[in-house]
Structure 1
């Protein structure tokens, strides 16, 4: 565990210098060990970093932002905390480039649930920060995207073009499938390249889902 940078994290070094980076962002209530379980299956030519979210939950686990409930039982996200976490992730990326032997032009992110929501948010607020985004079991929260009105122009003018792999369970009981289905229209509007795949599961990652993602990601990262 490295605690010297903005976010606590664990790493799986690559087999070569100046390697592409894959940043893993876990979901609400989890930790950096969760998605890190993917690493044995992912090419050793990729430098993997799994980050811990900054907000501690009791009795255990971590979150990128709070999820609150109103008097009627409605659920809503703390968008201020979400934006704060996006700033932390961006700062963390800059620290990673200065600390590890990674290619600064080949930064990639894989997020699950809250991690996916922030992966969308940061990649759309800062076009070009990531080459590839994997968004699993998440959705685009337009309220946390900076400069939404000028996004199409900024995205098209970015030197690094971002590709998206989106996956979602059709019976997801945590993040509704209908929310995830809104992403393609937004990505088409800005001219982004994307793949959307669904699977007959709940809030999780099926075996087929993982291998579809792995095949898509490695082809784009390593070629």
Structure 2
């Protein structure tokens, strides 16, 4: 079992917060930090609060930035380190996101695997997941059955020239996601381990769908009184 880790709450970057808006949580990739994905805010839908979290570990020298879990555990069948990072995100949500009407996660690479792991740990809490150039961690979790039944919407985008994620993990994810989620997937010709404008446009449409469902659910709720 991996040791518990924590999110540095003082380092979290936020946008459009201060009222009970749906919350989109950004989880950066290996060797980056909370400032990286925060630059995507102008491309995200209006009417959503955004929080960009820092990973709990320093990336090993000489790599800059931070890490959600040791990079050498990428293909381990034991998901303990990914789960420890996901648990840290869930504890942050417990303290910081108790009143929001809906939560979605957007992760890149390592952060995408953590985003999926959060949804696997607490399927009822996470309404949608965006997986950019990422993967589903191998191994079984107790929440996987509930996630399969819930069919959480997941967007998975990756490039044909992405040589960072091992092919075995790509193959595993290509089998795992359709079985455990309502998958929207797209492969971008020529894209490396990065994000393109076309992909951002697709992400925007996916998140617009999430927000439309939040609004529809709100309108279906019975009035108090």
* TM-score of the pair, normalised by structure 1: 0.80
Q: Which runs of 5+ in 1 are unaligned?
A: 70-74
- Residue 181 of structure 1: CA displacement? 4.5
CA RMSD, aligned part only?
2.5
Q: Which runs of 4+ in 1 moved over 6 A?
A: none
Between Structure 1 and Structure 2, which shows a larger proportion of strand residues? 1
- The separation in 2 between residues aligned to 1:146 and 1:109, in whole angstroms, is 19
Aligned with 2:68 (options 46, 50, 64)? 64
- Residue 102 of structure 1: CA displacement? 2.6
SS of 2:97's equivalent? Answer: helix
Deviations 1:85-138 (A, max 9, x none): 11101101111224xx632xx100000000101111221232122101000101
**Pairs aligned (count):** 203
* TM-score of the pair, normalised by structure 2: 0.80
Equivalences for residues 173-184 of structure 1 within 5 A: 173-176=163-166, 179-184=169-174
SS of 1:24's equivalent? Answer: strand
The equivalent residue for 2:192 is 202
Aligned with 2:142 (options 127, 138, 147)? 147
Q: Which runs of 5+ in 2 are unaligned?
A: 1-6, 214-225
The equivalent residue for 2:118 is 122
Equivalences for residues 1-223 of structure 1 within 5 A: 7=9, 8-14=11-17, 17-57=19-59, 58-59=61-62, 60-68=64-72, 76=75, 79-98=79-98, 102-103=100-101, 106-143=102-139, 145-147=140-142, 151-152=144-145, 154-155=146-147, 162-176=152-166, 179-190=169-180, 192-200=181-189, 201-223=191-213
